[in-house]
Amino acid sequence: MLPDLFHKLGIMGWPLLLCSVLASMLILERISFFLFVDFQGRRMESRLLRLIARHRHLEKPVRDEVTSVAFDEARLPFGRGLAVLRLVAAVAPILGLLGTILGIIDAFRVIAASDAPVTPSMIADGLWEALMTTAFGLMIALPCVIFVTLFTAWKNRIFDLTLIRLNAASLDYSLERGAARPETLPVPETRSTPRQVAP
């Protein structure tokens, strides 16, 4: 059954199969990362908090700059593969549409070369096979769009919560450092000398 359906996809069957395999691998990898590797971004957050603690003796602008660079590096694994998944979601329907156009061209070519009278069943059979590639392309693209949206929303939520906690920790260290500074010494009082009265 499946080999027959794959054969009916024509020349675009292999590109669509490659897109489906690639999309499945990326979706499974992203699910395993978000669920098992760093759920809620706790590992990234703890690593950045330790970085802030090591640099708490620095001024807040310098400490924030160090944290920002480390944060940009730590967020890279959370977006890995999403660009490729978006590309598959955009390319798969186009490949399906191209397969449909090629199938319709081939179907009309067969009809034009046939000497037998054209029947509606002959036209419907050719169009049915041609439209299958569009259906497969949309079936590949739809899960890609759904999972890209979910992964992006989950990633942004993790980043927003992490930034809030990092800013709070940096501010606490700044307040603690400011409280530990010695207070400004009071200005000593000057004794006024009594004014001498002229004789």
- pLDDT above 90 covers what percent of the chain? 28
Calculate helix-pair angle for 60-74, 42-54, nearest 10 degrees: 150
For residue 106, the surrounding DSSP H or E stretch is: helix 82-113
What's the chain's average pLDDT? 81
Spatial contact of 101 and 131, defined as CB atoms under 8 Å apart: no
Is 138 within a domain?
yes
Spatial contact of 48 and 162, defined as CB atoms under 8 Å apart: yes
Is 28 within a domain?
yes
> Whole-angstrom Cα distance, residue 11 to residue 169?
58
Is 157 within a domain?
yes
Is 181 within a domain?
no
Predicted confidence (pLDDT) at residue 19 exceeds the cutoff of 60: yes
List pLDDT tens digits, range 140-149: 999 999 999 9
- Number of structural domains the chain divides into: 1
Which range of residues forms the domain containing residue 62? Answer: 12-68+78-176
How high is the pLDDT of residue 187? 43
How high is the pLDDT of residue 128? 78
Going by C-alpha positions, the residue among 75, 76, 82 that lies closest to residue 166 is: 75
Per the document, the length of the chain is 199
Calculate the CA 115 to chain-centre distance. Answer: 56
Predicted confidence (pLDDT) at residue 93 exceeds the cutoff of 90: yes
Is 187 within a domain?
no
Spatial contact of 57 and 177, defined as CB atoms under 8 Å apart: yes
Is 27 within a domain?
yes
Is 198 within a domain?
no
Predicted confidence (pLDDT) at residue 188 exceeds the cutoff of 50: no
Tokens of 191: 């004794």
How high is the pLDDT of residue 192? 47
Mean pLDDT of the 84-106 span: 92
Residue 4, CA atoms < 13 Å, CB-side half-sphere: 1
List pLDDT tens digits, range 45-86: 888 888 888 888 878 788 888 888 888 888 888 889 999 999
> Whole-angstrom Cα distance, residue 139 to residue 125?
21
- 3-state helix, strand, coil split of the chain in percent (to 5) is 80, 0, 20
Is 141 within a domain?
yes
